[in-house]
Each structure stands twice: as C-alpha cells, then as structure tokens.
Chain A
Amino acid sequence: MQPRSTKTTSTVVDPTAVRPPIDDVDEIIRTTPAEMRDVLTRLKAQGFSQLTDVGGADYLRRSPRFDVVYHLTALPTRVASIAEVGKPKRVRVLCGVDEGVSVPTVYDLWPSANWAEREVFDLFGIAFSGHPDLRRIEMPDDWEGHPLRKDYPVRGPARDRTPRPPFPGKENVGSRIPPTREAAERLRREINERLHHDDHQTSEEKS
C-alpha cells in the first residue's frame, strides 16, 4: 500500500520543547527518572492530591526517546464547595526516559497510578520499578511488541504469510495468490477441451 501524501514542511523532533502561547497548566516540570520520584513526592506534599493522568509519548529520533507524562491537579481532599475548590492548580511533569531505563512507580503516592502505569508499560514498554502488579493491561498477555511505539506498524506486526493449503481437488488454485499466466492458460485450455468434449458427446448422443 502506497503511503499517503507525506509532504512535510518543518518536522520538529522534540515538540515539547516548543511552547505555544497557551495556558493549559500552571507549570511544566521536566525531570529525569532518577529525580522524578523526589519531584512528585514534593508536589504531593505541596497539595497536588490528584494524579489526573499518566501517559506516554514516543519521540523516535530524540534522546531520551520516551516521555512519561504526569498531570497533577491540586484538589481539596475533603468535602468542599465550588468556592473552596476554586480554580485548582495543574502541573505537568515530563520525565524523559530512554529505552531500557525504568521509572520508579508512584503507586504508593497515588493509587490511581496503578492502571495508568500498567498501560504505559503495555503500550510503550517502559517499565516501572516497584510497581506491585506490572502486567499488560490492554493487549493480550502473550503479545509481542508495544503498539504505541512509533516504529510499530499501524496495521500490526508483519505476519507469516505462508499460503493456505489448497483445497482438495483444486490444486491449480493457489490460495490468495492469483494463478500465473501459464496456470491460467492451462486451466482455460482444460475447461475448453472438456466443454468441447461434452458438446461432441451430446451432439453424438442426439444424433
């Protein structure tokens, strides 16, 4: 299948370094796996009580290759009215990870990290050290590869394309593969011969 139009003007290898003029979070913090745990512990102590999301991103040609993206929201941890909730502060933590490096888990800080980290592990292959139950969550347990990586093909892994065994009595029809010109010619000749033979016989019988 031909790729669709892929004309590009300027492709940015590290989009997170480019900041558009927007204000979706109050602060963006960039860390490394070694410091990540300290940063998130400090943020939790500052009142970021909800781990809104943990996600991943793969920047194929960048070093470090992956980002683990944490979104935190500072919500009151008690019964609170709208005025008390106010406009909660949000922070995004980007943790750059290279292939084969594991990230410490934050499951003990926020229990909601459990499934989210499993999903990042499943779809990107980033391991979380200290996670109590690091299994695949979306893909089957025996799946090979991590589908959301950029070098993983969209239509799934290349499968073994051994042709199906032919149906009995139809050896001339290859499965999936169209017959070669010679095979098609031979088939057509055989069919014609049989037809003419039948015609001949029927005309003989009639006469």
Chain B
Amino acid sequence: MSDHLPDWIGSEGNPPNFGDPTAVLEPEPYEVVSRSDDEMVLSMGPQHPSTHGVLQVVLGIDGETVKRAEPEIGYLHTGIEKSAENLFWNQSLTVIDRMDYLAPLTNNFAFCRGVEKLLGITGQVPRRAQQIRVMMAEMTRITSHCIWLGTHAIDLGAISPFFFTVDLRENILDLIEAASGARMNMTYFRVGGINGDLPEGFLERLDEVIAKFPRRMRDLRDLLQKNPIWTDREVGVGVISAEDAVAWGLTGPSLRASGVAYDLRKIEPYSTYEEYEFDVPTRTEGDCYARFLVRLDEMEESMRIIEQVRKNLEPGPIMVNEPAVALPPKPSIGLSMESLIHHFKLVSEGFRVPAGDVYGAVEGPRGEIGYYIVSNGENRPWRVRTRPPSFYNLQALRKIAAGNLIADVVVMIGSLDPVFGEVDR
C-alpha cells in the first residue's frame, strides 16, 4: 500500500462523508451557467485575467459562436464625480486623475481646458505651458498604448512584447516623474498652466528616449505585425462598420480603425496642436487588426509631435498671469505680506469660477474625453460630468461580439482598450 493515498482507501471503514449526494443544491442568485433552447449562457469575469479589470461579460453562446454579449460594469464605481463636486477646482484635478489611471494627464488636460473656458482665460495660458501640456499628453498617450499593447499581446499568448512595451513605458514614466514628481496620478496640470517647469537635464534625457524609440517600435512591429499567429487571431475579428461605429459612440483609435478620421487634435486644434505636422492614422477594415495598426501608428505619430515640441520649446512663464487663479511666485511669499495672504487665500479657499456650463474635450488615448462642467459661481464645481471614451467604446462590444468565436471575445475586449477606472468612475 503506497503511503501517499488517503487512509480510507483499501481500508475496511467507510469513506468520509462528503455530504448527501442526493441533495439538490440551491442555484446561486446570479446564474453562472444556464441553458435555454439552443443558447448557453456563460458568465465571464469579473475575476478574469483578460478583461483588463473588473468586467463581467454575460455571453450567450451556441457551440463556439457568441450570439450575444452583455458586459456588466460597475464593479469599480468609486463616485469620483461626486467627490469632485466637493473639492476646490484645483483639488478636483487630483480625483479626476484617478479615472483613466493609464493616462491621467489627458483627464487633467480636458478638465483644465473646460475650467479655463469658463474663466475666459483659454487664450492667456502661456505658450510654454501649452507646449509642455502637449508634450506630456503625447507621452501619456505612448505610455497608455504601451500598456494596451503589452496586455493585449499577453491575452493572445505572446509574452515578450510586454517586456518591450513596459521598458519603453518605464523610460517615458521616468521623464514624467522627473517633471511632475509622480509616476501615476501626476496632477501635473493646473487650471491656467502647469505645476512646475521642466527640471534641469530633462530635454537631454528626452533626446535619449527619442533616439531609442524607433528601434523599439521596429522590434514590436517585427514581433507582432506580420506574425501569422497574431494575424490569424486579429484579422477579420470584431468588425464594426463606420456607420455603426459612429452610432455606437465610438471615438479615438477604435473609430479611426473603421475609417472615420475624427481626431480632435486635427479638426479642433487646441494648445498649439495646429503647429505640428502629424498624420491621423486611419484604416478602413474596422477589425481588431485595424485597431491594432492604428494604435501602433499613433504611437509613432505621438513621438513625431514630441520631437517637434522639443525642437520648438520656447522659454517663458508656465502659469497664466492672472492673480485670481495662479499662486504668487514662491520667493515673493517671504518678501511681501500681500503675496502671503494671497497664497493663503488661494490654498485655503480656492478660487471662484464664473457661473455657467461648458463642455471641454481633448483627444485622449481612448478617444474623446470630455468634461461637462457646471459652475454656480462658487469655489467648487457644481457638477462634473465626464464623457468617458472607454464607457462608450466598451458598450460597442455588444455590437461587435455577436457572430464571433468565444475565444475571440478576449481579443475584442483588448482591442477596444477599456480602462475600468474610467468606465465605472
């Protein structure tokens, strides 16, 4: 008798009691698996490694084919909009960072632009601040796409791209950290400008990253773009036509992969975007492979913009010259009583924003991120409504998934690039 078997095997006694085998188990309140006539309902998530967060997708499947997919969201709802209504205008930037935690600076960007419109200081934001904002937003776009590409590749079974992308992201995050002081949730932008100027030696380190970038992108393209396993999984999967993409509210790379060249940086240029030469990558296929290619091209276009900003970066102030909004310069606080009082009032009470409502949007990595901001003339926003691109992009999964294979649901979720901090807010 071998010793690693349980004692009761081969012994005279009865096996241990595992419960009444004839008892009927009560079904769980939420049915995990159920059958109707010719449709099997399968619940995927919310604890699933390939859903990029806490997403549950209730799939109606017939054999291997998905007949309907119903994403269930709300597992990460944290009430950020409610929190923002109870903070000062500049303080609410800190919670707004936490929506799209992979691209916090574009959230800041959109919110700041909305508040600046309400204050009527859009044109007064200094040129250097605008340029640094553009540079940081494009860096954020690359870092966000890096995470998207790495995790998307892991979903499809390719581990190595993750190391390449995270290495690139690390280099860029080091730069962002040097400028803003944080790697995530930077809150680098302020209403009226940015928090602090670029540190010494920043541009030299940026040059190193710019020099390294083409090689990294070539590696990534070599690894994936013509890889037959990759193309087999991506080409022709999750197709959405241009008409449907517009109707379902898709924006950003997902819309451009369907052929509609809608990019706020080009069609409504803001913050000196009109000065830079860059293309808007567009494909017409509308499948996962098109979305993949559009994002890859976008990373290269972002780097083109960063290079041009770096070349044209002008010295100058980084905060609007508007004492009602901007803190006084730090050295003046020790010298002048008025500056000290002014500083204290701005920090302890914040500034007031004229009453009115406004919609400010920028092109984020996932699409049009906009803020509908209502002010009633106080030092806190009355209402901050986010237009979350991930929310609408993910909703389109209901349209895209039908008719595809069950194994491709993961590919389609990855290609829509949802971030659940933003979907649930």
Contact = CB atoms under 8 A, between A and B. Distances in A.
A49 B44 CA distance: 32
A111 B240 CA distance: 14
A9 B352 contact: yes
Contacts of A165: none
A148 interface: yes
B369 to A, nearest CB: 11
Contacts of B266: 82
Chain B, interface size: which category? 35 or more
Contacts of A110: 247, 249
A73 to B, nearest CB: 8
B378 interface: yes
Nearest to A92: B359
Of B122, B354, B372, chain A has the most CB atoms within 10 Å of the CB of B372
Interface string B267-280: 11000000000001
A24 B360 contact: yes
Interface string A93-132: 0000000000000000011101110000000000000000
Select the residue from A8, A16, A115 with max chain B CB neighbours within 10 A.
A115
A155 B258 CA distance: 43
A53 B73 contact: no
Interface in B113-147: 114, 117-118, 120, 122
Given A25-B359, A139-B74, A52 B261 contact: no
Contacts of B425: 138
A137 B74 contact: yes
Contacts of B34: none
A71 interface: yes
Please report whether the interface of chain B is mostly helix, strand, loop or mixed according to DSSP.
mixed
Does more than half of chain A's interface fall in helix, strand or loop, or is it mixed? loop
Nearest to B86: A154
B341 interface: no
A22 B121 CA distance: 10
A158 interface: no
Interface residues of A, number: 58
A69 B372 contact: yes
21 contacts: A15-B375, A20-B118, A22-B358, A50-B249, A52-B368, A52-B370, A57-B382, A57-B385, A58-B383, A75-B262, A76-B246, A78-B243, A79-B242, A80-B261, A81-B282, A82-B261, A82-B267, A111-B399, A112-B395, A115-B392, A138-B73
Given A80-B261, A82-B263, 15 more contacts: A5-B349, A13-B376, A15-B375, A20-B356, A50-B246, A53-B370, A55-B385, A56-B385, A80-B260, A90-B359, A111-B248, A115-B395, A138-B74, A138-B77, A139-B74
Interface of A: 5, 7-13, 15-16, 18-22, 24-25, 49-53, 55-59, 69, 71, 75-82, 84-88, 90, 92, 110-112, 114-116, 136-140, 147-148, 154
